[in-house]
Structure 1
Amino acid sequence: MKTSMIAVALLATLAGCAVQPNSANVYKARQAQNEQSVRMGTVESVRQVTIDKGQSGTGVLAGAALGGVAGSAVGGGKGAIAASILGAVAGGIAGQSIEANSANKPGFEITVRLDNGDLRAIVQDADEQFRPGERVRLLSDGRTTRVTH
């Protein structure tokens, strides 16, 4: 029983740590076969940023559950209760830290001067390099804009 609870808590922790990509190279299924407008421009500047995916609270909950189960296995009677409480608190703190660290990703703020003179800034994952002066495409579907070569 305890092994099952630990496995469930571990899976919940891993699910909570999953992040959605903000890459110009990744499309969601609903974005396939949708028309996008294409605008051409020149990169004015590129700035490194951190993309904060936010925290769902899953790390705290899963860590507390895992810590509580692990703590309850220590000792017996009132000692097991105290160890369970301490384990839950420590697990919650550790789970929050793990989720916070996995939720931040490096990104780029790419400022592009469009051919019509307008200036646009787009933030996306730092998985493709851009340099000032490069010609790029901005792909927009009304919600999402991507910078690509």
Structure 2
Amino acid sequence: MVRKDLRARVTLLALVASLGLAGCASNLTGDSYSRDEARRAMVVRYATIDSMRLVKLEGTKSNVGTVAGGAVGGIAGSSIGSGKGSAVGAVIGAVAGGLAGAAAEEGLTRSQGIEITVRLDNGSHMAIVQEYNGENFVPGQRVRLVQNGSTTRVTP
């Protein structure tokens, strides 16, 4: 009876952690803006696309995955043995769970990106990396570069 209750708690905690990690994913593509970017003046320049290539954008590396994984691992590890064995199992489970949680967070939030190389009207070149949303850019296409401080995005 106690084992069933513990398994149910571990399963529930793992589900909550998974949902929390999914909420950490960012979708800042060429046509998406963060809330902080709203109502800010942006510089617009025009350019011509030279080339594009798909790239991988690494996932987030916050402490959410580590903490959630550590909690789940600690609870699962504490169910092994009794007394000192349970405490050792909890510590080992927490460490292993923390490492697994961090890796899971990075993997779940990893996304496809695109590196777009453009030729500005003054003849200089620039490469911009943004999340790929399926938009089809082609070499020779005129595009807008929208810049806000250190953030630049390419839009048709």
Which TM bucket (shorter chain)?
0.7 to 0.9
User: How far does the alpha carbon of each residue in 1:100-136 deviate from its partner, in whole angstroms, 9 at most, with x for none?
Assistant: 2124221111011122222111110011232212111
What's the TM-score, normalizing by structure 2? Answer: 0.77
Q: Structure 1 residues 126-135 or 52-61, which shifts more?
A: 52-61
What is the alpha-carbon distance in structure 2 between the residues aligned to residue 63 and residue 111 of structure 1?
39
Checking the alignment, whether the CA contact within 8 Å between 1:49 and 1:106 is kept in structure 2 is yes
* Cross-structure match for 1:24: 30
* Cross-structure match for 2:125: 119
Counterpart residue identity of residue 80, structure 1: S
What's the TM-score, normalizing by structure 1? Answer: 0.80
SS of match in other structure, 2:116? strand
Matched positions, count: 149
* Cross-structure match for 2:66: 60
- Structure 2: unaligned runs, 5 residues or longer: 1-5
Q: Give structure 1 regions of 4+ aligned residues with deviation exceeding 6 angstroms.
A: 2-6
Checking the alignment, whether the CA contact within 8 Å between 1:10 and 1:66 is kept in structure 2 is no
What is the alpha-carbon distance in structure 2 between the residues aligned to residue 71 and residue 57 of structure 1?
20
* C-alpha deviation, 1:30, in angstroms: 2.9
* C-alpha deviation, 1:7, in angstroms: 5.8
* C-alpha deviation, 1:147, in angstroms: 0.2
- Structure 1: unaligned runs, 5 residues or longer: none
1:86 equivalent in alignment to 2:92: yes
Counterpart residue identity of residue 112, structure 1: V
* Cross-structure match for 1:108: 114
* Cross-structure match for 2:155: 148
* C-alpha deviation, 1:47, in angstroms: 1.5
* C-alpha deviation, 1:51, in angstroms: 1.6
* C-alpha deviation, 1:72, in angstroms: 1.8
Q: Structure 1 residues 66-75 or 122-131, which shifts more?
A: 66-75
Checking the alignment, whether the CA contact within 8 Å between 2:55 and 2:112 is kept in structure 1 is yes
Which of these residues, 136, 140, 146, is aligned with residue 133 of structure 1?
Answer: 140
User: How far does the alpha carbon of each residue in 1:22-61 deviate from its partner, in whole angstroms, 9 at most, with x for none?
Assistant: 3111112232233322211110010211222441233222
Counterpart residue identity of residue 43, structure 1: I
Counterpart residue identity of residue 146, structure 1: R
Compute the RMSD of aligned alpha carbons: 2.7
What is the alpha-carbon distance in structure 1 between the residues aligned to residue 99 and residue 49 of structure 2?
42
Q: Structure 1 residues 79-88 or 62-71, which shifts more?
A: 79-88
